Structure 1
């Protein structure tokens, strides 16, 4: 159960209810208040801001104890946030945290990210939100670095707040604690994935294709970019928002007098 006198923290992820990163994040934010955790039943990486329109959702109680309600949803990360805010919480959360993602959400990856989709969805409701990711895709990733240092940013967000409809996209390098240089506020790196659909053959002879690729950093020496920060042992903080308007181009197009 939750206590109206304590902070309310909403937690979600995209790697699914069993993901080690989610359970690490729960332990990180437990001291801050009561938790409502809503996670996808299955792995939902790459779902971005998708929602379930053509199937019903159910909410399955995973755990209930003092200060913690934990549900799983057979849907997307954004489904989880929408459902939580509409059906599970009785007051506006003080903070929303998403993750910890197993793998990077830096640079252009942010637009594909279910982790950041969930965080951005919460920001649309006026809730300060943070997405956290570690540059390690393995199921048994070590989140010790984030467990030790995430408090620094969480404290600042709770103390100072964020501008309306803003989320923080925070990526951590996969390094030893002793090598960590701290946080660096950055912008999103300009770059693209160079992708390929690798052809494989099923044992029954059916051809199928597996998406692969490598990230092409178009500005590797840009010291204000998130990729530079990560390669130099900083955690990269990029403020993001859902408004996709390009305002300089908006002004230029008005001159067309259409």
Structure 2
């Protein structure tokens, strides 16, 4: 299940009063595709509250929700804006463990089949000890996998992609997995001033975004740029628990 249209930077928005249109989508796998004319979080809400039970029986729930793979990294402060991450957080909020997966894009042609192989191996390792937990959300970012970097390995370490092309797995050793916190700065905002035909001032956002080089050591952005697969546990509780005592004291609450 996925949104019908691109939903980059839509965050955790949901469709509140408008109807959600659902349609069948052709996907090049044996699975059925469902397109939802809504936000990523809408897809998860709709699936868990309605469509999953229609397909698999009343009272049933998925064991795990995987959101992605997104075309573009969702690390650092971009986590706040990400629709991909929002879908995973929505699942965790509803009591189902979830993993968001994103691929960092560069100038070369991305190899999503290679990235998918790394994503699968990462998820298998995350699940090796059992369920990740009902309210757990893990954010996974995979460094660039591009055709220019790809070197075919020996035949005994390949698998078949959806297109039938043999896809090597020799990047496995070079892409270590690291658990790390999210980077919390490095956003660059740029706006270009234009004028509409009616004479109104218009500001177009462009050329900005996450500065992948303004990072703190050991954070998800820095480790991903060092070609590590990063795993960051996220939570939907936005309470500043360390600040509770401070503000209670200031207000005389002890």
TM-score, length-scaled by structure 2: 0.76
Q: Which residue of 2 aligns with 1:144?
A: 113
Deviations 1:14-46 (A, max 9, x none): xxxxxxxxxxxxxxxxxxxxxxxx111111111
Deviates more, 1:131-140 or 1:110-119: 131-140
Task: Show the counterpart of 1:30.
Answer: none
After superposition, the C-alpha distances for 1:88-138 in whole angstroms (9 at most, x for unaligned) are: 112210111111111111000000000000011011122111111111178
Structure 1 residues 203 and 174, CA gap change in structure 2 (3 angstroms): farther
Contact 1:49/1:117 (CA < 8 Å) preserved in 2? yes
CA distance 1:207–1:216, change in 2 (3 Å): same
In the alignment, structure 1 residue 43 sits paired with structure 2 residue 12: no
Counterpart contact for 1:184–1:235, Cα < 8 Å: yes
Distance 1:214 1:119, change over 3 A: closer
Aligned to 2:100: 131
Q: In the aligned structure 1, how far is the partner of 2:187 from the partner of 2:28?
A: 43
**Segment of structure 1 superposing worse, 203-212 or 108-117:** 203-212
Contact 1:120 1:167 in 2 (8 A): yes
The aligned residue for residue 31 of structure 1 is none
Question: Is the 1:132–1:169 contact (alpha carbons within 8 Å) kept by the matching residues of 2?
Answer: yes
Larger radius of gyration: 2
Which residue does 2:139 correspond to in 1? 169
Q: List structure 1 runs of 4+ shifted beyond 4 angstroms.
A: 63-67, 137-140, 201-207, 216-219
1:69-218 aligned at under 5 Å gives the runs: 69-90=32-53, 91-136=60-105, 141-159=110-128, 160-175=130-145, 176=149, 178=171, 180-201=174-195, 208-212=202-206, 213-216=208-211
For structure 1, list consecutive stretches of 5 or more residues without a partner in the other structure.
Answer: 1-37
Query: Does structure 2 retain, via aligned residues, the 8 Å contact 1:168–1:239?
Result: yes
Q: CA contact under 8 A between 1:95 and 1:128: conserved in structure 2?
A: yes
* Mapped contact 1:190–1:217 kept (Cα < 8 A): no
Counterparts in 2 of 1:66 and 1:182: CA distance versus 1, 3 Å: closer
2:32 partner SS? strand
The structure whose residues are more often strand, as a share, is: 1
Question: Secondary structure, in 3 states, of the residue corresponding to 1:123?
Answer: helix
**For 2:84 and 2:108, how far apart are their aligned partners in 1?**
16
CA RMSD of aligned residues (A): 2.8
Q: Distance in 1 between matches of 2:108 and 2:36?
A: 21
CA-CA distance at 1:249 after TM superposition: 0.8
SS, match of residue 45 in structure 2 = helix
